[in-house]
Structure 1
């Protein structure tokens, strides 16, 4: 079944040219970084998971079943990866600066989805924003926008 799911994402979604099936797709890399924010405070809240589902549906134009499969694959990628390099490098190669800023805003939206933001989530988002080469001012702008949207 897992092979079928992976084949689906390799065929149906955009996969960078030259990447084999051994690496994550752009969609899985994006979902994996978003899952990292959900996991950052060691407490997975249903509000955060619902928000993640909505984001992935909207961002990639996926259906319910496809979103669940993507989330499961992203969780597996995160659990088996040693670091974030493979995800971050793929995103930096294929996302422009504005798309990376939007990704950071999405991370902040997830952090506020449960009604509160924790220092652990902020630390994780700050580190990922730095790895994605998002400026500090855009990091703060994304945070303030997510706060305003959450109110």
Structure 2
């Protein structure tokens, strides 16, 4: 997965990525988006790491060992990313509406894993909602479900 992540990121930077992204590119794009959400507040704590790893393991049926080995590379790639369009385009093209809403819920879980929403995280979530063609209402409902999963007060 580490080699796929590097190849995917290099393709985004060079613009040579094929229009129809294979499933492995979807997994890579989701990994980088989750890592970006997890690190935007300047920290990547154990709670955030666990949420990201769990979502990747469950969604893409990848072993926990493989996730742990590649998570640091995803974090480094996410920290260097300025443009989210290439990642979100891959996700938008490969997931149906329900899948994109599920991803938004996963992203909300990641940003709330530390118990609070930082300004930059909120801004990222609004941008991702638009780029993934998820309505504000759907994103808000996904946020409420994520808060309930984490045992945080919805309000």
Aligned residue for 1:127, secondary structure, equals helix
After superposition, the Cα gap between the structure-2 partners of 1:71 and 1:19, relative to the gap in structure 1 and judged at 3 Å, is: farther
The RMSD of aligned alpha carbons is 2.6
TM-score by length of 1: 0.80
CA distance in 1, matches of 2:19, 2:80: 18
CA distance in 2, matches of 1:140, 1:33: 18
Number of residue equivalences: 139
In the alignment, is the contact (CA less than 8 A) between 1:48 and 1:113 conserved in 2? yes
Structure 1, residues 36-72: CA drift from partner, whole Å, max 9, x if none? Answer: 1111211221111111111111111111221123423
Name 1:6's counterpart in structure 2: 3
CA distance in 2, matches of 1:46, 1:79: 18
Name 1:44's counterpart in structure 2: 44
Which structure 1 segments of 5+ residues have no match? 11-16
Name 1:35's counterpart in structure 2: 35
CA distance in 2, matches of 1:128, 1:8: 20
- What does 1:66-145 correspond to in 2, within 5 Å? 66-145=66-145
Name 2:14's counterpart in structure 1: none
Q: Is 116-125 or 58-67 further displaced after alignment?
A: 116-125
Which structure 2 segments of 5+ residues have no match? 8-16
After superposition, the Cα gap between the structure-2 partners of 1:25 and 1:134, relative to the gap in structure 1 and judged at 3 Å, is: same
